[in-house]
Amino acid sequence: MQISQALAFGGPYRAGGLVLAVMIGAILGCSSEPAKFEPNRIAMYKAELSLGTKLDPTYQVQPIEKILTETFGTPDKPDLSLWDPKKLVPDLAEERADIQTEYDEIKAELDKALKDPDLDPEDRADIEADLADVKKDLDAVDKQIAAVEGLVQLDMLQMAAGPYGSAEDGTPRGLYRQHCVHCHGITGNGAGPTAAFLNPYPRDFRLGKFKWKSTTTGAPPTHDDLKRVITNGVPGTAMPSFKLLPAEEIEALTQYVTYLSLRGELERNLILDFSDIDVAVLKPAGMQSEEEKEYVESLSADELKEEQTGLKEELAELSDPEIFLPDYLAPIVTKWAFADKNVTDVPEKPEVVLDESIVHGRDLFFKKGGCATCHGQSALGDGQTAEMFYDDWTEEYYDPKNPEHLEEFLALGALPPRKLQPRNLRLGNFRGGRRPVDVYWRIRNGIEGAKMPAAQQLTEEEIWHVVDFVRKGLPYDSLSQPPEHVQENVRVRN
């Protein structure tokens, strides 16, 4: 009986095994194919919508991919061979060469003078002082160039890139794929396999925007800002702390996140510029929109030829590293390399009696600070919140006033839009860190990409009062059972 049963089931089981074998084969087959950065289809589709026509694969989409691969390499093999400071920061490189020449001249003068047995000690001191001055200038320029060169370094990127494992000498490889890829995705688009199940969604690096930072709105985060987020995680979200990793590995990941951000920003700018070039005359007939077809048909054979030649030249120019490095990559890289310039100075916290500071802070929270408008009378995040607020990453593809193309964007991999909520300040949990300085930065600079504005109307002292009120002056509600609430304006309407 049992035997026959086994036999009866033998057939389908064997078939199942076969399917399994095929599946394993397929998976292995896939994994042996090199990992690829995904094109930013959302930005491309957005460009297509505003143009009313499709981007041309040969003359628009492929050149963008080619430039990106030349400038950044692939997920398995980062490549920075084009990153020459002479091209990225030509002004600095030139300045350095000039100062170096000056330095060499003074040095030669000094060497000559030192050979003179009758050298006046005062003259010697003068020349030496000159030399020291020039050396100082030289060091200052070197420091700036070092900031550009140090932003992303190949050996660090190699530790983070590629499949998980280690090199022959034991240095780790594939840290990004080991720790980050399942949420942030291979391209850093914040759409890894787990992304859809997380709230908030993982960060999409490609806009180059980060929330938890010390710099002013519109400026990229500093290296230390990114490192802090990776080290400490983002409390209250799925982003864990990587404090237990060796310092060098955290450094490698920080640089890799920077690398993906720079790449994403370059891609978006290229999409914008390539889509602005009218390639109708080069498009194959099937790809043209009605309007483009009409236009091309209106041209004589000679005109068509002339336009095609001119256009190909223009496109070739844009794809030339001599053009795209200084025009496109350099502005993004310098912005990041010198992010330190935009760090908000935090004055020392004044010595105050805490209770008094909290009273001031409460007053500012309701009046001059305007905090209660969104965070609510009781700071539960239940103020009169507009129902149409989404963050900048969502607004890349979703315009709540014009939602008609949402389905198409979702089909391209965009995550379903989620409304932005003002933070409930009574949970004792601050995503960007709960040190006084973290809260100070949030209030002073606002939150990049979110709706929280910079409270530029408050003085430094006033901000410290609000910091005290927010950190120490609010009742504490347990994280697991926050009080139920309905937004004020919804409450009033119903």
Partner 1 sequence: MKLMQLGLMLVALVGLSAQQATAQEWGTVKGRFVVDGKAPTLPQMDVTKDQAFCGAKLPDPTLQIDANGGLKNVALWLYLDRGATAPAVHPSYAEADKKPVVIDNKNCMYDPHVATVVVGQPVEFKNSDPIPHNFKVEGFANPGMNNLVPVGGVFETKFENEERYPMNASCSIHPWMSAKIVVRELPYMAVSKEDGSFTIENLPVGKHKLQIWHEVPGTIKELVIGGKTVKDRKGLLEIEVKAGNNDLGDIKIAAGDLK
Which positions touch partner 1 (CB under 8 A)?
50-53, 91-92, 95, 217-219, 269, 272, 276, 278, 280, 291-292, 294-295, 314, 368, 370, 373-374, 384-389, 392, 400, 446, 448, 451-457, 489
Taking a C-beta distance cutoff of 8 angstroms, is the pair 423, 436 a contact?
Answer: no
Which parts of 116-246 are beta strand (E)? 165-166, 172-173
User: What's the min distance (Å) between Cβ of 430 and partner 1?
Assistant: 19
Nearer of residues 378 and 384 to partner 1, judged by Cβ:
384
The minimum distance between CB 332 and partner 1, in angstroms, equals 12
For partner 1, the closer CB: 26 or 97: 97
Q: Give the relative orientation of helices 330-337 and 121-151 as an angle to the nearest 10 degrees.
A: 110
Distances (CA, A) of 105 to 5, 98, 110, 125, 234: 96, 11, 9, 16, 54
467: enclosing H helix or E strand: helix 460-472
End-to-end Cα spacing for the chain: 69
Compute the least distance from the CB of residue 34 to partner 1, in Å: 32
User: Based on CB atoms, which residue is closest to partner 1, 254 or 334?
Assistant: 334
**Residue whose CB is less far from partner 1, 400 or 436:** 400
For partner 1, the closer of residues 131 and 304 by Cβ is 304
Neighbours of 67 (CB within 10 A): 24
Which CB sits closer to partner 1, 91 or 407?
Answer: 91
Task: Let me know: does 472 contact 379? Beta carbons within 8 Å.
Answer: no
CB of 396 to partner 1, least distance (A): 11
Separation of alpha carbons 432 and 211, rounded Å: 8
Task: Give me the least distance between CB of 215 and partner 1, in Å please.
Answer: 10
Place of tokens 């002479």: 86
Smallest distance from the beta carbon of 454 to partner 1, in angstroms?
5
Query: How far are the Cα atoms of 47, 360, 382, 402 from residue 387, in angstroms, in the given order?
Result: 27, 31, 12, 14
Q: Which is nearer to partner 1, 115 or 401 (CB)?
A: 401
Minimum Å distance from CB 391 to partner 1? 11
Bridge pairing between strands 165-166 and 172-173: antiparallel
H/E element holding 302? helix 301-318
- Quote the radius of gyration of the chain (alpha carbons, Å): 29
